[in-house]
Amino acid sequence: MSSSSGRAPLAPGFVNGGVSFWYRAAGRPAPGPGLPGPRSADVCVVGAGYTGLWTAYYLKRARPDMRIVVLEREFAGFGASGRNGGWVLGDIAGSRERYAARHGRGAAIALQRAMFAAVDEVVRVAADERVDAGLVKGGVLHVARNAAQRARLAAMVGEAREWGWTDDDLVPLPAAERDDRLRVEGATGAAWSPHCARVQPAALVRGLASAVRRLGVEIYEGTPVVRIIPRRAGGPAAAVTPRGTVTADHVLRATEGFTAALPGHHRDWLPMNSSMIVTTPLPARTWKAIGWERRELLGDMAHYYMYAQRTADDRIAFGGRGRPYRYGSRIDDGGRTEPATIDALWTMLTAMFPAVADEGRIDHAWSGVLGVPRDWCATVVLDRATGLGHAGGYTGHGVATANLAGRTLRDLVLRDDTELTALPWVDRRVRRWEPEPLRWLGVHAMYALYRAADARESSAGSGRTSALARIADRITGH
């Protein structure tokens, strides 16, 4: 089934877009009931993805009498929550050095430990709420495939040690153990961390939405928010929709990669595209050649990095950057992916796992957007004067980070001073992205340089990171 033309082989019934493969079995959900008219609430949450739903869940658990309304433009889980690679990853969303620069080394370490705990919290709640989302905590395997990547892998482990990580958090693997776990063609090094779990992301977000509804939270779908109004002169804050206005003591924005569509927030976070393909189910002989029995998540040390999982039904879901950014922060809501991106992802997948080229085809391709702040660090904010709050900017680490954000927003709304509200991402303010065309030029220049850097490192055999990658980092402050 391999393709000699360079084009990826597509399965009969191949789907491009349709939100994501994760919705394919059950079908794309139709939006539920919309807002029936004006409402008042204690808390109004804008966006029914992971951040909004976790926030509503923990608030309602803490205060069952609290009136909570969640507003969603499409359906719960339409955005990144239902399209991501299924990594419940315990890494910080951003730079620990940047958090430490403002709040100290101890605060950055506390944030990292809270992220590790968030992975187990997601697993716990899914079990308690009987959410069948294929969760398996097999950890994450980082592989290097050339000398420069191997040097970065060693540096990553060394830096983690300096920030308090032990062998219980991240450990280099000898070649024999690496290949026993997962045989990646051309692998020259690997490190494994237990702080990651595989998940079927749409099953998790839909199960979480059901749990939130059972608690008595009102979720209104098919209800776009066109404006958010701060509290003024003692009056409540408000979320304005074409179907009516919801007034509340607090309005919390949980729109992540879709934030640029809201008036006044166009340059807050850049909507970065990421694309995925998933294979047809692979036969036992292919898995015998590959391994992957422990269901680790897989990433590499390239600048233009990939991410992958072995799904519950024995496919490989494989992702990376395609067309990283659309001019003017435009978003392709349907998730359709360009053929060149599909071909590139297939080429990367089969280079790592040649056995797949003989047995597999691509069953589905899709894309989604994630929120990227100007300093690439996530934030949780609540302004008590205006009644407005938000969380996001997860830079691709949102599945676990959104859980921590939801619990942190709960404590901020309830005015509880806790270990979570003392974390260094709370009330973090960053400058906005540049106007166009500088924004488009910067992002596309960055990824062009990263692609060129990867190509040079693969061909040169040097153990040094390409200077092109360092230039790319300086362009955008990554």
2, pLDDT greater than 50:
no
The predicted structure's pLDDT at residue 27 = 85
311, pLDDT greater than 60:
yes
Kindly report, residue by residue over 96-134, the tens digit of the pLDDT. 999 999 899 999 999 999 999 999 999 999 999 999 999
Q: In the predicted model, what is the mean pLDDT of residues 56-85?
A: 97
The predicted structure's pLDDT at residue 338 = 93
Are residues 75 and 210 in contact, defined by beta-carbon separation less than 8 angstroms?
no
**In which element (H, E) is residue 211 found?**
helix 201-214
Kindly report, residue by residue over 380-404, the tens digit of the pLDDT. 999 999 999 999 999 999 999 999 9
Kindly report, residue by residue over 10-60, the tens digit of the pLDDT. 999 999 999 999 999 888 898 999 999 999 999 999 999 999 999 999 999
**In which element (H, E) is residue 16 found?**
strand 10-16
**C-alpha–C-alpha distance, residues 369 and 101, integer Å:** 29
Q: In the predicted model, what is the mean pLDDT of residues 172-198?
A: 97
Task: Please report which confidence band the pLDDT of residue 6 belongs to, taking 50, 70 and 90 as the band edges.
Answer: low
3, pLDDT greater than 50:
no
Q: What share of the chain is helix, strand, coil (3-state, %, to 5)?
A: 35, 20, 40
CB atoms within 10 A of CB 362: 22
The predicted structure's pLDDT at residue 463 = 83
The predicted structure's pLDDT at residue 411 = 98
Q: Cα 95–97–100 angle (5° rounding)?
A: 115
Q: In the predicted model, what is the mean pLDDT of residues 173-182?
A: 96
DSSP reduced 3-state for 369? strand
Kindly report, residue by residue over 202-233, the tens digit of the pLDDT. 999 999 999 999 999 999 999 999 999 999 88
Kindly report, residue by residue over 427-465, the tens digit of the pLDDT. 998 899 999 999 999 999 998 999 899 999 888 777 889
Q: In the predicted model, what is the mean pLDDT of residues 82-87?
A: 97
Q: Is 414 exposed, middle or buried (0-12, 13-18, 19+ CB in 10 A)?
A: middle
**C-alpha–C-alpha distance, residues 315 and 356, integer Å:** 10
71, pLDDT greater than 70:
yes
The predicted structure's pLDDT at residue 441 = 93
4, pLDDT greater than 70:
no
